[in-house]
Chain A
Amino acid sequence: MSDGNKNFVLGVFDDEDVLLKAIAQVRQGGVKIHEVFSPFPVHGIDDVLGYKGSRLSIAAFIFGLLGTTLALTMQIGMMTVDWPMIVGGKDFLPFPTFIPVTFELTVLLGAFGMVGTFFVVSDLKPWAKPRIFDLRITDDKHIVAVDLDKNKMSEADIKKALADAGAQEVNNKQFD
């Protein structure tokens, strides 16, 4: 998510409830919030920021379905089609014995597929170079980042709005 923008104003909060109110307030004040950074998940933040719910669960379902198909194709292909062998007097297509493996592969692909998707869409990778607005966001501070280039409002107004909303500090952040 690092597009060309360089100049940000950061509002620093340390209480999630204050934060939630604040976000709602500044947004009403017409401030476009670039992103909010927190040390831990804050419940209800999606709504005040107007984020839609994630669709990752759908990805999980699709991958799971893929797993089921794969498992059944593999087992029937190997046991019934490719080389049918008499094993314990069972039929060449002993469906009941296929269930455990089918279940496992469903879960496996479901889980891995979803996590993979998550890493991709959230751009999580070992060599990633994240833009850290403030080191304290992984400790105990919540940061509301406002992109000056994306806002028509003047820097001063934005700072005021944040301060009014209860930010402990209001800082500038420059990326070069």
Chain B
Amino acid sequence: MHAEAVVRKPLVTGGKTVHDVTEDICIRVEQAPAKSWYAAMAVSLALLGYGTFCVFTLVWEGIGSWGLNKTVGWAWDITNFVWWVGIGHAGTLISAILLLFRQRWRMSINRAAEAMTIFAVICALQFPLLHMGRPWIGAIWALPLPNTYGSLWVNFNSPLLWDVFAISTYFSVSLVFWYIGLVPDFATIRDRATGISKKIYGALSLGWDGAAKTWSRYETVALVLAGLATPLVLSVHTIVSFDFATSVIPGWHTTIFPPYFVAGAIFSGFAMVLTLMIVTRHVYKLQDYITIEHISLMNIIIMVTGSIVGVAYITELFIAWYSGVEGEQYAFFNRALGPYWWAYASMMTCNVISPQLFWFKKIRTSIAATFVISIIVNIGMWFERFVIIVTSLHRDFLPSSWAMFYPTWVDIGVYIFTFGLFFTCFFAFAKFFPVINMAEVKSIIKATGEKKK
């Protein structure tokens, strides 16, 4: 049933045995981290520290410390929110959808990808919270809880409320999915560890004993979770796109948004996975597990999704012209040629043109090129959200209200905050968690490893 395993190049190279897998992965958890790790962690914590100060300023002074105004009510806040959520799509997508499609090459990357997802969503969640005028009460009132206003409930017509449910569901389900995958590996570490860490990993492994019965249930759970998570992944960014699609603002009010956003999310998510994997691969010497084959496969997905996004951009322009609606036409004219033309231009170059380079096998299989493009892609995706949000708002229906948006240092600082948060989490993960799903990789050593019997 896994015919592709025979024809395809080995997914794990270097003649690794099952035991080697255990060694190679566990050693990272057991050994003291390298200097480079300490350096990286220090930088992340510095970012986090400065970011925290900016967040404090924001909450203390008020939203006015951002550059928003009467016309542009959202800018960097929601841009960053959508950007992070988008990035948070890769992990679960890789684990769930690729599992359903029995893409075994996912196995050596899904662990880190899922971790990245979790952290990205945590970062994303900061913005819906911080962008509120009164976060201290908003955090509670956004939930359907009984309150002091008698029977006053939340408004289920509001896409923002849909977000609350979509994001929290996606986060918690991804978390569970990730953890289920970790349990057997924790057991492995537990059985090698001693003393306090034995206790900790013992608790984390929930008393895993690797019995065949448990394994068979485990596989069912993984499969069904994947089945549930797949529509979930698609639904999250669909619902995020509803924030705009259900509004009346030209440039927002677009039925193409759900598929277009999902494609964009996968696009940026895979790019971010690559950025991180290439680093981890290098630092942890995992070349045998994360092979060029993996990278080029992911590059192909980036190329495809990038093209989908490109088509979406062009479709938008066409429909704007075709609709014959004055406001709609101006909105897109203004995107391309208005005061924010540079944002639109960067978006187009980064998202539509740069991934096309992956048509060339040379670039697709070059680590350096992949690394650079993966970063460019995420810059482009940030601009996409900025273009959608700011250039649509700053010139909408009544010219009398047209205005420009200029970010302040607090806008930037809060974005930095999420970077600090993200990398701190990721480096902690790289130290204390097995960065590759050992159990799964072991299961394919014989089938696709080089050491055939």
Contacts and interface: CB of A to CB of B under 8 A. Distances in A.
Nearest to B172: A108
Interface string B360-404: 000000000000000000000000000000000000000000000
A122 interface: yes
B221 A101 contact: no
A105 B165 contact: yes
Contacts of A114: 221, 224-225
A4 interface: no
A88 B157 contact: yes
B31 interface: no
B161 A83 contact: no
Contact of B207 (A16, A97, A123, A138): A123
Interface stretch (B38-46, B52-60, B187-195, B273-281): B187-195
B267 to A, nearest CB: 23
Contacts of A64: 228
A115 to B, nearest CB: 5
Nearest to A128: B207
Contacts, number: 195
Interface string B200-223: 000110111111111111111101
Interface residues of B, number: 65
Interface in B146-165: 151-157, 161-162, 165
B130 to A, nearest CB: 23
B450 interface: no
Given A78-B156, A104-B166, A130 B207 contact: yes
Contact of A124 (B166, B207, B446): B207
Contacts of B161: 101
Contacts of A129: 207
Contact of B212 (A42, A74, A98): A42
A23 to B, nearest CB: 9
B165 A104 contact: yes
Contacts of B440: 40
Interface in B229-244: 229, 231-232, 235, 239, 242
B304 interface: no
A15 B453 contact: yes
Contacts of A105: 165, 169
Contact of A138 (B187, B204, B231): B187
Contact of B442 (A40, A57, A130): A40
Contact of B209 (A14, A45, A131): A131
A40 B439 contact: yes
A127 interface: yes
Nearest to A46: B216
Given A15-B446, A118-B221, A128 B22 contact: no
Given A94-B157, A101-B156, A111-B176, A83 B151 contact: yes
Interface string A100-114: 110111011011101
A41 B176 CA distance: 19
B144 interface: yes
Q: Which of A57, A60, A107 has the most CB of B within 10 A?
A: A107
A1 B208 CA distance: 12
Given A57-B224, A105-B169, A114-B221, A40 B443 contact: yes
Contact of B217 (A1, A38, A121, A131): A121
A125 B206 contact: yes
B209 A51 contact: no
Given A126-B206, A138-B188, 17 more contacts: A15-B453, A36-B211, A37-B211, A39-B184, A51-B216, A56-B217, A56-B224, A60-B224, A78-B156, A79-B157, A82-B153, A100-B165, A104-B235, A107-B228, A124-B207, A128-B207, A140-B17
26 contacts: A14-B18, A37-B210, A40-B442, A41-B216, A42-B212, A45-B212, A53-B216, A60-B224, A64-B228, A78-B154, A78-B156, A87-B157, A100-B165, A103-B235, A107-B229, A107-B231, A111-B176, A114-B225, A115-B225, A122-B217, A126-B206, A130-B207, A138-B208, A138-B210, A139-B22, A140-B21
Interface of B: 17-19, 21-22, 144, 151-157, 161-162, 165-166, 169, 172-173, 176-177, 180, 183-184, 187-188, 190-192, 203-204, 206-221, 223-225, 228-229, 231-232, 235, 239, 242, 438-440, 442-443, 446, 453
